[in-house]
Amino acid sequence: MPKKNVLRGSETKTALSLFSGAGGLDVGVLQAGFDVLACIEIDPHCCATLRDAAKRESRSTRILEKDIRTIDPKSLMRELLLEPGELDLLCGGSPCQSFSQIGKRECLEDERGMLLFEFIRFAESFKPKAIMLEQVKGLLNAPDKAGVVGGVYSLLVAKLEALGYEPKMRVIKATQYGVAQMRERVFIVSTMDGAHFEFPEPTRGDPKKELYTLFPLPPYATVREALGGIGKPIPNNGHQPDDSHVDITPAGDRRRIHGVPEGSHLAKELHLPAEQRCNLTKKDTTKFRRLSWSEPSNTLRCGEIFFHPSEDRYLTPREYMRLHGYPDTYLLKGPIRGRSGRVRHLDQHRQVANSVPPPVARAIAEAIKEALDACQRGPTHLGRKRPYPPQVYCESSLASTTV
C-alpha cells in the first residue's frame, strides 16, 4: 500500500521510473513530492549514479540494472506491494536515437524505437493514475512501419486512449522553466478517472519578446547565471573529484579552440589557420563551440563537449549539470572522458546530456500531482494552474533557491 507521509498527514504519491538514465527526471519527480519506488535502467554507470543518490538521500528506491524487456511488470508490481491502479505515476524517457533528426532515423525498424511501447506494456499491468513520457521532437513526425508520417506518435496515442487515458502533448522549452539551456523536448502526459491535467505555465520568457508584453516574465537564465560562483576546476591529474568539476581537455583541443571568440565555433572563424580548422565544414556548428556568457547554452548533446565561454577548455561535468539544472548535491558516477569514438556505456557528460532537466521534470510533476490531488478531493477543485518558480543553483548553499 502507498506509504503514509507523517509530515503531510496524507498519502505520499508513488512513482515508477523507466529508462531512468542519470536520474534527472527522477530528481524533479522527487522534488515534486513523489516517492520513486524503483528505477529501471540498463547502463551500469547510470545505475551507479542512481544507487549513490538513493543511498545519500536515505531512500529505499530499488535500482533495477536490467534490460526492461526482461522485466515482468506484474511480478514487479507484487514486489513493490502494489495493486493495479495504486501507482500514481509511471514516468521516463525511452532512447531517442531512432526518432532523432540527426541520426539514421530508423524509427520502429530500430529495436530502440520499439522501446517506446514499453510504457504501454507497463501501463497495462500497473494501470497508473498518470503517465509522463519524454522524447525528442522527431517523434511527432516519425513514420511508422507503413511509412505514414507521424504514424508512431498516432499509434502511441491510440494505445494510451485504448487503456482509458487522456493524453496531452506539449513541446517544452527548458529555458521557460529556469534552465539555462535551449533544449526542446516533447512531453506527453496522460491521466484517467477525471484527473484534469494542464501543463504548467512558463516562468521565464525570451527577453527579446518580453519587451513587448504588459507583464513580462523574468528573462531566460544565462550561462553566466548558471555557472556563477562555481570556481576553477581541478586539473586532470588522475584523481576524479566527487563533484566532477575536473578539466579533462587534451592539449590538442586547447590549441584548436584558442582564438575562437565567445559564442562562436571554430568552422566559422575563417581567419584562423587552416591547420587549426582542419576538415571542419560550415555545417559543423556544434563542434569546437564556445558558449556565450550572456545567452542560454545550446542543447547539450552526446556528440561533443562544448567549450567554456572564455577559457581554452571543455566544460566540466559539474558545469554541464549546472546548465541542466541539477542541484550541486547530486553526484555522478562513472568515467569522465572525451568525445571521440563510440562507447558502450555512458560517461558523465553523456549522462547529463541524455537526461531530463530536473526543473522541467519538477514543474510537470507538480502539475500532475495537483491534478491527482484535485481529482481525489472532487470536481470543485479542478483546473487551477500554478507555475513553479524557476531554479538557480548556487555553489555557496549547494541547494536550489527560487528567484
Which range among 2-11, 186-195, 285-294 shows the weakest confidence by mean pLDDT? 2-11
Residue 374 within a domain: yes
Per-residue pLDDT at 386: 41
Give the confidence band of 219 by pLDDT, cuts at 50, 70, 90: very high
Per-residue pLDDT at 340: 60
Q: Which residues form the domain of 377?
A: 4-206+356-402
Q: What is the pTM of this model?
A: 0.88
In Å, how far are 23, 217, 294, 369, 386 from 214, measured between CA atoms?
38, 10, 24, 31, 20
Which range among 151-155, 161-165, 395-399 shows the weakest confidence by mean pLDDT? 395-399
Active site residue 96: yes
Which range among 49-58, 84-93, 336-345, 381-390 shows the weakest confidence by mean pLDDT? 381-390
**Percent above pLDDT 70 for the chain:** 85
Per-residue pLDDT at 112: 63
pLDDT tens digit string along 306-342?
Answer: 999 999 999 999 999 999 999 999 999 999 986 666 6
Task: Output 303 or 39, whichever has higher pLDDT.
Answer: 39
Q: Span 90-99, mean pLDDT?
A: 78
Per-residue pLDDT at 4: 43
Task: Give the CATH number for residue 128.
Answer: 3.40.50.150
Residue 259 within a domain: no
Q: How many domains does the chain have?
A: 1
Q: How far apart are the first and last CA of the chain?
A: 37
CB 76 within 8 A of CB 18: no
Q: Any bridge partners for residue 17, and if so which?
A: 39, 91
Give the confidence band of 199 by pLDDT, cuts at 50, 70, 90: very high
Task: Output 388 or 262, whichever has higher pLDDT.
Answer: 262
Per-residue pLDDT at 363: 98
Per-residue pLDDT at 114: 84
Length of the chain: 403
Please tell me the number of Cα atoms within 13 Å of 245 on its side-chain side: 15
Which range among 14-28, 244-258, 340-354 shows the weakest confidence by mean pLDDT? 340-354
Residues 99, 101, 103, 109, CA torsion sign:
positive
Residue 257 within a domain: no
Residue 398 within a domain: yes
Q: Span 182-195, mean pLDDT?
A: 93
105 has a pLDDT exceeding 70: no
pLDDT tens digit string along 248-291?
Answer: 999 999 999 999 999 999 999 999 999 999 999 999 999 999 99
Catalytic residue among 39, 47, 96, 107: 96
391 has a pLDDT exceeding 70: no
Residue 267 within a domain: no
Q: Span 117-145, mean pLDDT?
A: 94
Q: Span 349-354, mean pLDDT?
A: 95
Per-residue pLDDT at 103: 53
Q: What is the mean pLDDT of the chain?
A: 88
Per-residue pLDDT at 50: 98
Per-residue pLDDT at 377: 78
